[in-house]
Structure 1
Amino acid sequence: MRDEEYSRCPAPEKYRILAARADAWTQALSRLGLAEVETVTDPAGIWRRGPGVAVSGAVRLHPVRVDAVPLVFGFSAIDEVPGTVLVVGAGEPAVSLEQLPDCGCDACDSGSADLLEVLDDVVVAVVTGEFVHVDAGEGREIVGTGDSWSASNWDASGLPVEEVLAAARAGRSPYRVVRGQAWE
């Protein structure tokens, strides 16, 4: 990679495929009768903590099942091109589970297949009730989506991530937890 590839994104519109996939998920879950769709009027105000990008639009899917949690698609922009960043969240208020792309530069672009796979995995984890979000404060967070997880600011001095996730899934976590049941 050349250094200049780390600072450019000459075609941000290529990431609009993420918004199209979010729309496809929205339509599918609605048509299956699993969720009611809400176009959010205050997209910045639905998050527990801002997702790290300026969200200019959002759709919240309210599951029909009462003990399941809502799925949120927040939309932002790269270089002022709308619909090129997707933030996937869950809960009410929503916690951010994934931001796609995490970097839009040419050097970090591995292609749309990888991004769509991550998006699909997160949506499936929310809909099947396999996701869990643990917030230990001070920016220390863990997101579990089935068998995989990601952690922010989680150091080795604390409990192992797997133990924290197991406690959260069992309802025994001392931290703030967002999780829900399967939508069906």
Structure 2
Amino acid sequence: MTPDVLRARVAAAYDRLGLPSWPPPRPEGVEPRDEEYSRVSDLHKYRVVHGRAGAWTEVLGALPGVVVERLGPVTAERRAFTRGVRIASPVPGTLPVVLLEQDAGPTEHGDGVDSLHVAVQDTAHLLDYGHPDCGCDACDLGSNDLLENIDDQILSVVAGPFAMLTAPRWTATWHPDGGSMDGGTGTAWDFDDAMRACRRLADGRDVRLPGSCTALVGRSWLEATH
């Protein structure tokens, strides 16, 4: 199976839900107005991310030997999530995907929108941004962009290889199409150091990591699946 086949199956499962879509609210190249940065027009329109999570759960859960574990309310990195699901492949060396959903409503920082976060292995290893990354009107780029970002993030783990480094002050992730580093200012390693280490780990080579840094490395789920 290829990542494109998996995308198509997810898109078909999602389309059956009949959820709304919306275009980018501004023409390409037009900057948001100042008031859009502090405005959230609809807390609940982002419920589409929960539908996308359900489509991914359905499609991945249908792969041979995959185990789907439903989670109740979850706290991860001091954030409260309404529900979650852990999806694990039987292919040796793969990393489970954890999808964490948060319903719109009051939070410690004000009213939050419906959102989805992706983690690997367990709830302690959240990837570096959620969906939507920000729910304000200024950051809204339309539903297609939002759903594509979810697909890209989940596929970065499922299609593999994937590597994640976690240290007390920074986190780095890498896959063949890109990588990112959150934090790291004033630490011994910079972005390039982290990416080199991740690539070596994905290749199965030994890497000497900084103290207190841990690594998660996963191969593709899609090997020997149909």
Normalising by the smaller structure, the TM-score range is 0.7 to 0.9
SS at match of 2:80: coil
Kindly tell me the number of residue pairs found equivalent between the two proteins.
178
Measured in 2, the distance between the counterparts of 1:162 and 1:123 equals 23
171-180 or 73-82, which deviates more: 73-82
**Could you tell me which of 66, 89, 93 is aligned with 1:63?**
89
Measured in 2, the distance between the counterparts of 1:165 and 1:74 equals 26
SS at match of 1:95: coil
Look up the equivalent residue of 2:173 and give its one-letter code.
V
Look up the equivalent residue of 2:116 and give its one-letter code.
L
SS at match of 1:32: coil
Hey, what does 2:16 align to over in structure 1? Answer: none
Measured in 2, the distance between the counterparts of 1:87 and 1:61 equals 14
**Could you tell me which of 74, 77, 81 is aligned with 2:103?**
77
The structure whose Rg is larger is: 2
SS at match of 2:126: strand
**Could you tell me which of 161, 167, 175 is aligned with 1:136?**
167
Measured in 2, the distance between the counterparts of 1:26 and 1:107 equals 30
SS at match of 1:4: helix
CA distance 1:112–1:135, shift in 2 (3 Å): same
Contact 1:75 1:83 in 2 (8 A): no
Q: Between Structure 1 and Structure 2, which shows a larger proportion of strand residues?
A: 1
**Could you tell me which of 171, 192, 196 is aligned with 1:162?**
192
Look up the equivalent residue of 1:177 and give its one-letter code.
A
Calculate the aligned-residue CA RMSD, in Å: 2.4
Amino-acid identity (%): 32
79-88 or 168-177, which deviates more: 79-88
**Could you tell me which of 139, 144, 148 is aligned with 1:113?**
144
97-106 or 1-10, which deviates more: 1-10
- Do residues 29 (structure 1) and 55 (structure 2) align? no
How does the TM-score come out when normalised to structure 2? 0.70
Q: CA deviation at 1:2?
A: 3.1
Deviations 1:4-47 (Å, cap 9, x if unpaired)?
Answer: 31122121222111111111111111112252111013522xx4
Look up the equivalent residue of 1:8 and give its one-letter code.
R
Structure 1, gaps ≥5 residues long: none
Deviations 1:76-112 (Å, cap 9, x if unpaired)?
Answer: 1333599810000101354111311111000111112
Structure 2, gaps ≥5 residues long: 1-31, 202-206
Contact 2:174 2:199 in 1 (8 A): no
Hey, what does 2:10 align to over in structure 1? Answer: none
